[in-house]
Structure 1
Amino acid sequence: MVDVDTSRLTVRPLGPDTWEAWDALAARHNGVFGGCWCTWFHTMVSEKPRDADANHALKEQWVRGGRSHAAVVFDGEEAVAWAQYGPPAELPNIRHRKEYEEGLVSPPDYRVTCFFVDRRYRRQGVAEVALRGVVDLVAQAGGGVLEGYPHDLTGSTKKVSSSFLYSTTRSMFERVGFELERTKGEKNTVMRLVVPPAP
């Protein structure tokens, strides 16, 4: 476990120049969630490769082609976390999709689908640094409606593994300024933030 000073962390967008650092972080954790390589939300289930090497190749292709976005958190030159985001067309696959679409009034401009934090850096506020990084990157891109789907642990006394909280928690999103729009699935939420364009 690393004693984290979040003030020393920086955030950079995922792209060709940060791919190798991102890739090293994912590789240190077996390609993330058994070889997903953070591709699950990019593809519908019927389109999803079931092979870790294929997922890895797809992810690199999408990143180098500008089709996969994330706020990557760095400690020095080492990537230690990320939050994946992008427009719905780029990230069409979300949990509880049927229930989500039944209650949808207007689609967001961007959605945050998942977070990943190096196991040495967990439970020290690093995921929140990543989320704030997403907000900044969306602002730099002109702003818009940003949506996330965190777990709602309100009132729960059961400790949940940080590795399970792939979309983090409602309380963290609230600290960043998101507001609850509605629930979806069991203990899952739809939260929104209107991000103004960067000055």
Structure 2
Amino acid sequence: MALTNEELRIVPLAPQTWPMFDAMVLRHNGIFGGCWCTWFHPDSEDRAPGAEGSRAEKKRYVECGVAHAALVVDGDEAVAWAEYGTPAELPNIHHRKQYDAEADLVPDYRVTCIFVDKRHRRRGLAETALLGALDLIAREGGGVVEGYPHVPGEKRVSSSFLYNGTRAMYERCGFEFVRPKGLKNTVMRRTVAPAG
């Protein structure tokens, strides 16, 4: 059964909402082999190995207020998220060397990962999560937001590999194409006004 917008709400990832995020990631075996959506964060020498190390690290980032995401919630269960943060909070992006060499500005925020529960895919929740992140950014004062979506080729790709959505989705959400990044990634940008 498809979820309707009336059944969904957006909540920020925070210590109080950690249990919902935690449960969703656990349902998916830690996401991408136990990443826990930590790959884009700074490297930490204190991090323990494996999925449990990533889980503890993500929880620590959340408790310190340096991990942000818009959680799409149905009832009391998170069913999707969009991770966002400042470049200092999320410095690790794919094709970083090329990105830095071609950069024309430093954005205020990055959207680095979008994930949808496998039970709820193909229902537009990635776009809902992205719009939720933009709304939370607006509440934090807005600014220039970049995303790095994929441009799928002719060959069909599993949606699980589209960890940051597609260019078409970003365009629907008001982003403009800036330049390519790597073979099948792009730099997309949108300015978000502060919430009124």
User: Normalised by the size of structure 1, how large is the TM-score?
Assistant: 0.94
- Evaluate the alpha carbon distance shift between residue 85 and residue 117 of structure 1 in structure 2; reply closer, same or farther with a 3 A threshold: same
Cα distance in 1, alignment partners of residues 168 and 48 from structure 2: 34
The residue correspondences of 1:55-70 to structure 2 (distance < 5 A) are 55-70=54-69
Partner of 1:102: 101
* Aligned match for 2:155, one of 155, 158, 161: 158
The residue correspondences of 1:47-126 to structure 2 (distance < 5 A) are 50-126=49-125
Q: What CA RMSD, in Å, does the superposition of the two structures yield over aligned residues?
A: 1.6
Unaligned runs of at least 5 residues, structure 1? none
- Evaluate the alpha carbon distance shift between residue 188 and residue 48 of structure 1 in structure 2; reply closer, same or farther with a 3 A threshold: farther
Task: Give the AA of the match of 1:158.
Answer: K
Cα distance in 2, alignment partners of residues 42 and 189 from structure 1: 20
Unaligned runs of at least 5 residues, structure 2? none
Contact 1:140 1:198 in 2 (8 A): yes
Identity of aligned residues (%): 57
Partner of 1:43: 42
User: Normalised by the size of structure 2, how large is the TM-score?
Assistant: 0.95
| Residue range with higher mean Cα deviation, 45-54 or 61-70 | 45-54
Cα distance in 2, alignment partners of residues 138 and 41 from structure 1: 18
Aligned to 1:114, what secondary structure does the other structure show? strand
Partner of 2:11: 12
- Evaluate the alpha carbon distance shift between residue 163 and residue 108 of structure 1 in structure 2; reply closer, same or farther with a 3 A threshold: same
Cα distance in 2, alignment partners of residues 35 and 169 from structure 1: 23
Q: 1:47 Cα shift?
A: 8.6
Cα distance in 2, alignment partners of residues 196 and 105 from structure 1: 21
- Evaluate the alpha carbon distance shift between residue 46 and residue 169 of structure 1 in structure 2; reply closer, same or farther with a 3 A threshold: farther
Q: How many residues align?
A: 196
* Aligned match for 1:195, one of 182, 186, 192: 192
Q: 1:187 Cα shift?
A: 1.3
Cα distance in 2, alignment partners of residues 106 and 157 from structure 1: 32
